[in-house]
Structures are given as C-alpha cells and as structure tokens.
Amino acid sequence: MAHIVILGAGYAGLGTARKLAKIAPADTKIDLIDRNTKHVESIELYQVAAGSADADKISFDIRGVLPNNVNFIQANVSKIDYENKTVEFSDHDDMTYDYVVVGLGFRSENFGMEGADQYSYKLQDIPTAEKIYEVINSNIRNYKQSQDPNDLNIVVCGAGFTGIELLGELIDTAKILKAKYDVPEINITSVEMAPQILPMFDSELAKYAVDFLSKNGIKIMTSAKIKKIEPNAVVYTKGDSEEEQRIYANSIIWTVGVSGSDVIKDSGFEARRNRITVTDYLNVEDHPELYVIGDDSASMDPQSNRPLPTTGQLALAQAEVAAENIVADLKKQPQKKFVYKSKGTIASLGPSHGIAEITKPHLKLKGSMAALAKRFSFEQVLYEVGGIKGLQKK
C-alpha cells in the first residue's frame, strides 16, 4: 500500500488531495497535513486587511470538504528529511512516506530591509491581515485625541498584486472610517520602486488602474526605492537620486514580495527565496517521489526561461498534474509534463472595479466587468479546492 503525504492545505495541497481522492488506487493511504484546521483563500487576504471581510468569509474547515479517503492531520511541519523519506514535526511523531507533495505556501519577504519587521505590518495570513485592519482602525480612531496627522496617513510599501488589491480595497475603508470617526481626509500612498505598476498587464489596463486609484485619492509613487522603515516613516530614494526622503505615516503596510515556506530552507534544499526548481513533472531531480508545487516551487516557463510567477491559479494547475503523475508512477505508466496555460490575470480595485486580461477568448476587461470576472473566477477556485461544499461555505 502506497502512502502519500501532502504537506499544506492551501490551493496546492488541497487541490492535490481532492484530485488524488478521485484517481488514486483504492488501497492508497492519503494524508493531508496542515498546522491549521482551516483552508484560507489567501488570494482574498487583502479584504481582511482592509476590514471589508471577516476571516470566516475567506476560510473554511478543511475536514468539511475532504473526501472520505483523505485523512486530515493537524500538525506543524518542521523539516523534510528527503534522504530518509520522512517528515518531521514540532508537535507530532515523524512520518515516513512513499510520495510527498510539498505545498506549504508563502511568507512575506523583508529582503533584510532595516526596520521592516519592527515598524511595518506584513500581509501573509489571517492574523497578520487582521492586525493590519486593527492598526489602521485604531490610528484613525486615535486622531481626534492625538491630533497627530500621521494617524491619518497610510502607506502601502510595494505595488505588486497584493499592494494594488489592498490599495483598491482601502478606498472604501477610508471613506467608512472617515465618516465613523469624523476625521479629516485620510491619505493613502503607494511606494513602488519600479517605474510603472502592473507591468504584467496590457498598458491600457495598467493605465486604467493607475487612473482609477489616483481619481479615488490614492497617491502612487513610482521609481521610489524603499531604503528603510522607521517607527513612523518610510525612507526612500527617488529615481537616480541618492538623497533620502521620508513619507510619514503611523500605518505602514509591507507588501514588497513573498518567499516560499521556511521549511524549505530548514530542510537543506537548494532553493532561491525558499522556492525549489522542479522538473517538468513537478518533482525534484534525484528525488522522483518528492513533488513541490505552489509557492514553494520554481516551475520554469520555457518561453521566458524564468520561473512562472506564483499564483493560486498556477498552484491549482500544478496540483492536478502532480496528482496525476504520482498515480501514473504507482501504475508504472508514463508521466505527464506540466504545461501551464494561464486562464488570464485579474486584479481587483475594490469590490466593484478591477482590470482583467482573459486568455480564451482574448478579452481585456476593466471596471465592473473585471470585478464580475473576478467574482466568477473566485467561485471557480472555491469549487476546485472545496467542491460543492466549498462553494456552500460562502
């Protein structure tokens, strides 16, 4: 009897578990492991950070959506001893495996930036998302008493996907909190080192996003490289100038990039930012029983010769192929190469706006049509990770 151990119940792990449940031989033992009992829709974390959704709205009980032939174990993975095919835990006995699927997700990356951990708030999971809203809310509430203008200033560091979606969602948050606490204008600034934001989108769509955010009072600073974070200031340089400038705020949010799980580093894998380069079959060279997918894997894009950018959509596509390849190996059948066909890219700009580039049919959407597309794609993702029960959790 083969024992398959899946580490992490995010998009990658839950997707693999559900697929294996359908296609694995009946005598396969499938264990899914996560330190939490809930699956989190991490692509929606920005809503919790902006206070527009409760944690419950973007998470559901893992056991509630698992088929009967998948066993869930709540445990905290500390290391993968891949030479001895054993997983080690901080709170559970070691576990041996015949196949392991690593899908332990991402963490916020600070790139060694001075002050980032101490003076800014990262967005990486439910507790950090809740903390961000708590900080923003309490600073704005505090203004009447403190009269400190920095209480009304919010800075979002980094304007990648996470930063942009958070900024879009903060437009409504600022209006609600301004009225609630009867305070002057709330100032939201984005600090981004690249010369333009959303370079992965068609330039017309990217321009629409910039215009939309600017029209709604968000100040977007590009070519602004963050140098350090101080207790109530972001220190940056602009363009080629080396002169340090400061933007003051009591709510500083850090969305400057992510790394894979630290379990990768702690297990001694060769990796870059905790992402392991995988073969075309999604396993690791010399360790064919070890599959790595989602944010912990670097799956090469043959066109750009660079790792594919990590997304929930990519993790789900990898999960499908990893499950199929494990079963093919068990049955001594040929395995399938992973070829990624993106369905498109969507960035929300608050609850009812966004930009989207859909692959088939090729469509460029903006405004409410893009928000609708995002809604639809979110429901699809929920169905893929949770089936009908996942959808019903909403």
Contact set with ligand NAD (CB under 6 A):
43, 158-163, 165, 191-194, 225-226, 255-258, 309-311, 345-347
Q: Report which of 388, 350, 363 is spatially closest to residue 170, judged by C-alpha positions.
A: 350
Nearer to ligand NAD, 87 or 197 (CB): 197
Q: Report which of 7, 75, 79, 89 is spatially closest to residue 268, judged by C-alpha positions.
A: 79
Phi, psi (degrees; rounded to nearest 5) at 221: -105, 120
Could you tell me the smallest distance in angstroms from the CB atom of residue 4 to ligand NAD?
27
Could you tell me the smallest distance in angstroms from the CB atom of residue 255 to ligand NAD?
5
CA atoms within 13 A on the CB side of 308: 26
Angle at 67 between CA 64 and CA 73, to 5 degrees: 65
State both tokens at 255: 């969305």
At 72 the three-state DSSP class reads strand
Supply the DSSP symbol for 65.
G
Q: Which residue is nearest to ligand NAD (CB)?
A: 160
Could you tell me the smallest distance in angstroms from the CB atom of residue 234 to ligand NAD?
9
Nearer to ligand NAD, 5 or 247 (CB): 247
Nearer to ligand NAD, 66 or 356 (CB): 356
Phi, psi (degrees; rounded to nearest 5) at 238: -110, 130
Cα 40 from Cα 106, distance rounded (Å): 12
Nearer to ligand NAD, 115 or 390 (CB): 115
Could you tell me the smallest distance in angstroms from the CB atom of residue 165 to ligand NAD?
6
Nearer to ligand NAD, 34 or 192 (CB): 192
Could you tell me the smallest distance in angstroms from the CB atom of residue 34 to ligand NAD?
19
Could you tell me the smallest distance in angstroms from the CB atom of residue 159 to ligand NAD?
5
Longest dimension (CA), the chain: 71
Cα 58 from Cα 81, distance rounded (Å): 33
Could you tell me the smallest distance in angstroms from the CB atom of residue 75 to ligand NAD?
26
Cα 40 from Cα 52, distance rounded (Å): 16
Nearer to ligand NAD, 257 or 387 (CB): 257
Amino acid at site 22: K
The per-residue b/e assignment along 351-389, b for 16 or more CB within 10 angstroms, e otherwise, is bebbbbbbeeeeebbbeeebbebbeebbeebbebbbeee
DSSP tally for the chain: helices H, then strands E: 9, 28
Catalytic residue, candidates 41, 109, 165, 169: 165
For residue 361, cis peptide bond before it (omega within 30 degrees of 0)? yes
Nearer to ligand NAD, 73 or 200 (CB): 200
Among all chains, which residue has been given the structure tokens 């492991």?
A: 33
Q: Are 301 and 307 in contact (CB under 8 A)?
A: yes
Q: Report which of 271, 287, 261 is spatially closest to residue 78, judged by C-alpha positions.
A: 261
* Catalytic status, residue 165: yes
Nearer to ligand NAD, 85 or 312 (CB): 312
Could you tell me the smallest distance in angstroms from the CB atom of residue 179 to ligand NAD?
29
Give 60's strand partners.
39
Give the dihedral sign, CA 19/264/270/194.
positive
Q: Are 343 and 377 in contact (CB under 8 A)?
A: yes
Which of the residues are catalytic?
Answer: 165
